Amino acid sequence: MSQAFANPLRQIWAAGGTALNGWIALPSPLAAEAMMQAGWDSVTIDLQHGTAEYADLLSLLPIIEKAGAAPLVRVPWLDEAAIMRALDAGALGIIAPMVETAADARRLVSACLYPPSGARSFGPIRARLARGDAYGSVANAEIVPFAMIETRAAVDNLNDILAVPGLGGIYIGPADLSLSYGFPPGFDREEPEMLDLIVQILKRCTAAGLPCGLHCGTPAYAGRMVSKGFGLLTVGSDARFLEAGARAAAAAFRAA
């Protein structure tokens, strides 16, 4: 197999659309197959706060790919080894937490891209099987390195971060960002200060020509954010959907 491949996220953005991103916190292939019935544009496997390990990528990524979504991985930290292993397993995008400086962003991009654009070591053990023998010649153009913006320092340095060549996008983490500005953690911020901050980050990303993603807790909130111009919106997670469904079922039974 030698054909080139395309990242569904980049296709959506090229058409001016907003990607709906799912979130996997549970390392269950069955749960992942159930999640994929929803028709997500992309799905992120969370290795930072989720319960999956590297080995789980080998069973979860094929399920996401089979459904036609872009497989993303949030790595545990800004760590080159973790980033390269996730890419070699087949991820088409990396979300790196706690990026605070241009130097951090350069480390992220370098780990995601092959020379001469970066320093990624060549060895796409599963990525080549999933994407074909042309993987090495196409990967740099299709991989999306996302820098998470979730601290005051990151906001202060945002213009420098956005100027890093090869950066694929920004992903706003509202929980840690809120903590950094003195608010309790959580999604779907309604405080005027936080809403304004999120919109200002988005505007600066747009001005730099980069898509901006936002983690949302509810479909209603994500729907409101579409009109503001976000390139990617995450809604909930498998763990939260399971919890909400179980609570609703029990409450409905008791009410009846």
Which residues are identified as catalytic?
49
Nearest to 56 by CA among 40, 71, 41: 71
- Cα–Cα distance list, 127 to 33, 36, 191 (Å): 20, 20, 42
Q: Which alpha helices (H) appear in the chain, and where do they start and end?
A: 8-14, 29-35, 54-66, 80-89, 102-112, 127-131, 135-142, 152-156, 158-162, 174-180, 192-207, 219-226, 238-255
Nearest to 49 by CA among 93, 98, 99: 98
- Cα–Cα distance list, 9 to 93, 145, 169 (Å): 9, 12, 11
Cis amide leading into 116 (omega within 30): yes
Q: What residues contact 176, with CB distance under 8 A and at least 6 apart?
A: 98, 150, 151, 185
Q: Count CB-CB contacts under 10 A for residue 88.
A: 18
**Separation between Cα atoms, residue 168 and residue 211, nearest integer Å:** 7
